[in-house]
Structure 1
Amino acid sequence: MGAILKKDIYTDPSENRILPYNGQAFFTLNRINNGHMTQKAYRLDQLEFVLSHIANDRDTYMAQGFFSRPCRRALFIETMTHAYVDIDCYKTEFFPDWMTKQQKVQSILSYCDDNLIPVPSAIISSGRGIYLKWYWASPIPREAVGRAVALNKQLVSLFAPLGADPACVDVSRILRVVGTLNSKNNQPVELLHQTDRDGHAITYVFDDFADEVLPYSLEQIREWREAQKERYEAKGQVIHLAREKARERLKAGNRKAFNRFDWCWRVVEDIRIIADKKYGGVIPYCEESGHVAGPDIYAHIGASMLGNIIPSQQLWPEIKTWAGLILPASYVNDKRNLLAHSSTLLKKAKQVANMTEEERKRNEEAGLHRKGAYRYKTQTIIDRLGITSDDMRNFNLKVLIDKDEKRRRDRENTMHKRREAGVMERVEWLNASDNKISQALEAWPNEKKLTQQTLADATGLSVRTIRAHWKKSIP
């Protein structure tokens, strides 16, 4: 997942992270005035000027992602530049009170080394706590939001003994700006450590970093599947050919390991594509369109997917923003509709937010039985939304596709690779074989015995191909 535009990317003047070239993207600054949080959006090409003119004696926060609109909603995220963890040092015994900031930095670096965690690109004091940031070698696009959230969650889990804030995982998160003041203890927000490589802050390739940090790497999944195969063979059971081929594709690197957050985000994206390309931007009521699915079911499924990605305190505003993009205004503004269909989901999300860290970990391990949000299978969503095979193909949906469409795409990919490798189409190959046989027959010596086997040896074709040619040539 590369940069939006790879040319002319440049660095953040305050943190040395690599930024996208699209100067029309937005970021936000949030300030506390008289006890109230205010927010203002700026364009990316204003970043250096804005950061150089911030008052350094006040609380100031900045969005950690860049947005397509002047609105700090996850649904409008355009690109992301780094992963992050917010460590509340004062809430854990890992950092004794006598430790200086630099001693805390060394403890964090040692912790990373002991636990085989990639070292942060930057370690920043937030005044009371510490931010850890890992910069990407090139900014990642909105399609990677689900995996980015999963990655932040995993980093929070890895740094839980150090006091990592479990809420600091969403892509619309704001963190304090380097060079400003934390008014809670009158301490500055400052860069404590930067891990350098060739004179610049170290950067990571997003996909490689995710494969290394996420709990189940592709290599682990391969090992588990090999072990499963051995168990099957020990029992004398037959492994289906389709599964074998799927494993081979995974080994070849053509498929990524399944990630729930990534899948949920891609469902949200597919729904937006359907609304745009099938309905002209707004999902109509069933009685108007005659379709099986109307705003009610779209609202419920979309909100359920967002419930897996967005923190509970931000979930309702994000749902309402998302609904306003694809559902009729009359539906969104009527509390009997959108809010009614989201009330149980919001209640579930609040229950998860109130869990302890141990309860949250057990809940994640519970799989399909975990609490917090509705779970749907892909085929269930396809059936309820009335998505057709033509929709899957014409709109190029990413995850809302059935097994038949997956097989069709696999066939196309295989055919494309065969063509790139120089393999001919069957019609061309048959014509070439016929020509080769005809030329061999014309030049065949009279004294040499002509059989199917001798002709096959002379042409390099199989006996079966020779036999088929003879049958075709006999009147």
Structure 2
Amino acid sequence: MTTLPTSSFPPPSSLRFTSRNPLEGRALPPSGWWSLIQGQGRKSMRQVHYQLNQLATVLAAKGKGIDVYMSQGIFGKKSRRTVDLTHITHAYVDLDVYKTQIMSDGKSIDTVARMVLLDCDDFGIPKPSCIIHSGRGLYLKWFWRQPVPSSEAGRAIAINRALVQFFRDFGADRAAVDMSRILRVVGSVNSRSGNRVEVLWTNNVDGDVLRYDFNTFADEFLRPPLARAGVVAPTRPVRAGRKDAPWETVEQQQRLGRKLFHRADWHLGVLADLRRLAELRHDSGIVQVAGAGRQAGLDLFGHLGACQLAMVIPAPQLPAEIEAWGRQILPDWYIDGEFSRHCSTLLDRARQAAAGERAQHGGKSVSPNWTYNKDTLIDLLEITPAEMRQMTRLIDGDEKRRRDREAWRADHTGQDRTAYLAANSVSRDKPWKAEGISRATWYRRQQAVAGTG
């Protein structure tokens, strides 16, 4: 194992995790499913799903074979679909350095790994938790301090995409950002090179591999480049409707508890809201529409959900992801029947977008994928104010202001609205009305009485 400098980033808390994976240092959830994929000859792969408590045993028995891969996410069932994801354990980037000019002059893979770490130092990027030689290229992995729930899948994808952008000169694979990604198992053999997959370097601090806090990492790493370099960069207006409104800085948004916008985070959040809406409206969580509009109602839910996935999932994986998601909230008879036909145009558009084709809309060149803004989604789905209280993305201005007031009250009083009113019964009872005087006059009288007392 090559010895390289450890990270200058501060060590994590003293909490230690015992990884169930004998070959890596991930912090794993207590349960879930993962997938092992093994080559079966030219262009043939065999995938088997295992429970998480079988990880060490399976890898010890099968992890040293030829062309062995494993899923990088943890899933809720025998699946490797993003919609079935339950936990994320790390960020990753796949560097195809053998395709770049970097290795054209005969540099060794160890030298390239050192160059990666030097770039991290020079540009203020957190060093990976480990660097793995994939047999030809490099895997860089940043382990999270604890398993991250699937609700953060959008930000996790955004982190992977940002890493790809940063390491593009090292041949970062732009496709290797999704949550259903598979990477080679440490100890297996890469048939293309004959080399064994091995850990080149681990970022050890106090005898343990360095793990990062996901939220801190995301808040810092996903900031605009100027802000990350110490320069405050504007993002968007504080309020609409004021031409002279100042711009919120990244720091102001973080202080208000707001996440910066990331496309994948938004679309997967809308997908979660659709699932929650189905649960609120139907005891089974499966959309049931009666009457003459049954087909149209199912088509609407299916179409809007598929549109969100089309903005996040690579086109080759999209049909299977859409079907897996549809079975979570739509009747099987509909999925097995009309749903695939209904999605055919959407899938064609996704393939066009993946090929770089553009469409004309309103005189502008746009992506062929269907997109809907938040207000349109709320109107189409007829989401009520009561339902919006259970949503994370599909909320209108009134619900947003209500949440802002609640957040302000909790921040300044430590109470929610109910507790605040209970502790301030005067505001609720309005005794000045019974006396036929103004609120200000009533308070002045109370202050006068208190002063003479």
TM-score of the pair, normalised by structure 2: 0.81
Residue 378 of structure 2 is aligned to residue 377 of structure 1? no
For residues 145-199 of structure 1, give each alpha carbon's deviation from its aligned partner in whole angstroms, at most 9, with x where no partner exists. 0111111111111111111111100001000000010111211011111111111
Amino acid at match of 1:428: S
Residue 384 of structure 2 is aligned to residue 388 of structure 1? yes
Query: 1:97, CA displacement in angstroms?
Result: 5.1
1:278–1:468 distance in 2 versus 1, CA, 3 Å: same
Q: Choose 1 or 2 for highest CA Rg.
A: 1
Higher helix share: 1
Q: What secondary structure, in the 3-state scheme, does the structure 1 residue paired with 2:259 have?
A: coil
Distance, in Å, in 2 between the alignment partners of 1:350 and 1:253 is 39
1:374–1:215 distance in 2 versus 1, CA, 3 Å: farther
Q: Which residue of 2 aligns with 1:294?
A: 297
Contact map agreement 1:272 1:326 (CA 8 A) in 2 = yes
Counterparts of 1:245-324 in structure 2, within 5 Å, are 250=253, 252-279=255-282, 280-285=284-289, 287=291, 294-324=297-327
Contact map agreement 2:63 2:186 (CA 8 A) in 1 = no
Q: Which residue of 1 aligns with 2:10?
A: none
Contact map agreement 1:324 1:332 (CA 8 A) in 2 = yes
Query: 1:267, CA displacement in angstroms?
Result: 0.6
1:34–1:223 distance in 2 versus 1, CA, 3 Å: closer
The total of aligned residue pairs comes to: 416
Residue 14 of structure 2 is aligned to residue 17 of structure 1? no
Distance, in Å, in 1 between the alignment partners of 2:65 and 2:254 is 54
Distance, in Å, in 1 between the alignment partners of 2:226 and 2:413 is 28
Q: What secondary structure, in the 3-state scheme, does the structure 2 residue paired with 1:45 have?
A: helix
Q: What secondary structure, in the 3-state scheme, does the structure 2 residue paired with 1:135 have?
A: strand
Amino acid at match of 1:25: G
Amino acid at match of 1:210: A
Q: What secondary structure, in the 3-state scheme, does the structure 2 residue paired with 1:175 have?
A: strand
Q: Which residue of 1 aligns with 2:435?
A: none
Query: 1:421, CA displacement in angstroms?
Result: 7.0
1:185–1:313 distance in 2 versus 1, CA, 3 Å: same
Greater mean alpha carbon deviation, residues 250-259 or residues 166-175: 250-259
Counterparts of 1:13-412 in structure 2, within 5 Å, are 13-22=21-30, 24-35=31-42, 36-54=44-62, 56-96=64-104, 98-216=106-224, 223-225=232-234, 239=245, 250=253, 252-279=255-282, 280-285=284-289, 287=291, 294-334=297-337, 337-355=338-356, 370-371=366-367, 373-393=369-389, 396-412=390-406
For residues 255-305 of structure 1, give each alpha carbon's deviation from its aligned partner in whole angstroms, at most 9, with x where no partner exists. 1212221111011111111112312322223526x6896111111111110
CA RMSD, aligned part only? 3.7
Distance, in Å, in 1 between the alignment partners of 2:77 and 2:299 is 27
Greater mean alpha carbon deviation, residues 337-346 or residues 274-283: 337-346
Amino acid at match of 2:341: A
1:66–1:247 distance in 2 versus 1, CA, 3 Å: closer
1:111–1:225 distance in 2 versus 1, CA, 3 Å: closer
Distance, in Å, in 1 between the alignment partners of 2:285 and 2:428 is 49
Query: 1:211, CA displacement in angstroms?
Result: 2.2
Greater mean alpha carbon deviation, residues 12-21 or residues 414-423: 414-423
Distance, in Å, in 2 between the alignment partners of 1:63 and 1:179 is 15
Q: What secondary structure, in the 3-state scheme, does the structure 2 residue paired with 1:11 have?
A: coil
Distance, in Å, in 1 between the alignment partners of 2:430 and 2:191 is 82
1:376–1:369 distance in 2 versus 1, CA, 3 Å: farther
Q: What secondary structure, in the 3-state scheme, does the structure 1 residue paired with 2:343 have?
A: helix
Distance, in Å, in 2 between the alignment partners of 1:432 and 1:342 is 56
Q: What secondary structure, in the 3-state scheme, does the structure 2 residue paired with 1:203 have?
A: coil
Query: 1:51, CA displacement in angstroms?
Result: 1.4
Distance, in Å, in 2 between the alignment partners of 1:370 and 1:209 is 32
Q: What secondary structure, in the 3-state scheme, does the structure 2 residue paired with 1:94 have?
A: helix
Distance, in Å, in 1 between the alignment partners of 2:139 and 2:408 is 45
Give identity over the alignment, percent: 36
Residue 443 of structure 2 is aligned to residue 428 of structure 1? no
1:193–1:427 distance in 2 versus 1, CA, 3 Å: closer
Distance, in Å, in 2 between the alignment partners of 1:63 and 1:260 is 23
1:348–1:214 distance in 2 versus 1, CA, 3 Å: farther
Amino acid at match of 2:376: T
Amino acid at match of 1:77: L
1:204–1:333 distance in 2 versus 1, CA, 3 Å: same
Greater mean alpha carbon deviation, residues 54-63 or residues 311-320: 54-63
For residues 45-68 of structure 1, give each alpha carbon's deviation from its aligned partner in whole angstroms, at most 9, with x where no partner exists. 111111111252321100001001
Contact map agreement 2:72 2:183 (CA 8 A) in 1 = yes
Q: What secondary structure, in the 3-state scheme, does the structure 1 residue paired with 2:62 have?
A: coil
Contact map agreement 1:211 1:218 (CA 8 A) in 2 = no
Contact map agreement 2:77 2:84 (CA 8 A) in 1 = yes
5+ residue gaps, structure 1, are: 1-6, 435-460, 471-475
Q: Which residue of 2 aligns with 1:455?
A: none
Query: 1:344, CA displacement in angstroms?
Result: 3.2
1:228–1:259 distance in 2 versus 1, CA, 3 Å: closer
5+ residue gaps, structure 2, are: 1-14, 432-438, 449-453
Q: Which residue of 2 aligns with 1:413?
A: 407
Distance, in Å, in 2 between the alignment partners of 1:431 and 1:301 is 43
1:8–1:76 distance in 2 versus 1, CA, 3 Å: farther
Contact map agreement 2:375 2:396 (CA 8 A) in 1 = yes
Query: 1:94, CA displacement in angstroms?
Result: 1.9
Query: 1:251, CA displacement in angstroms?
Result: 5.5
Distance, in Å, in 2 between the alignment partners of 1:249 and 1:294 is 41
Distance, in Å, in 1 between the alignment partners of 2:420 and 2:300 is 47
TM-score of the pair, normalised by structure 1: 0.78
Amino acid at match of 2:347: L
Contact map agreement 1:10 1:21 (CA 8 A) in 2 = no
For residues 403-456 of structure 1, give each alpha carbon's deviation from its aligned partner in whole angstroms, at most 9, with x where no partner exists. 11222223333334444279964843569999xxxxxxxxxxxxxxxxxxxxxx
Amino acid at match of 1:281: G
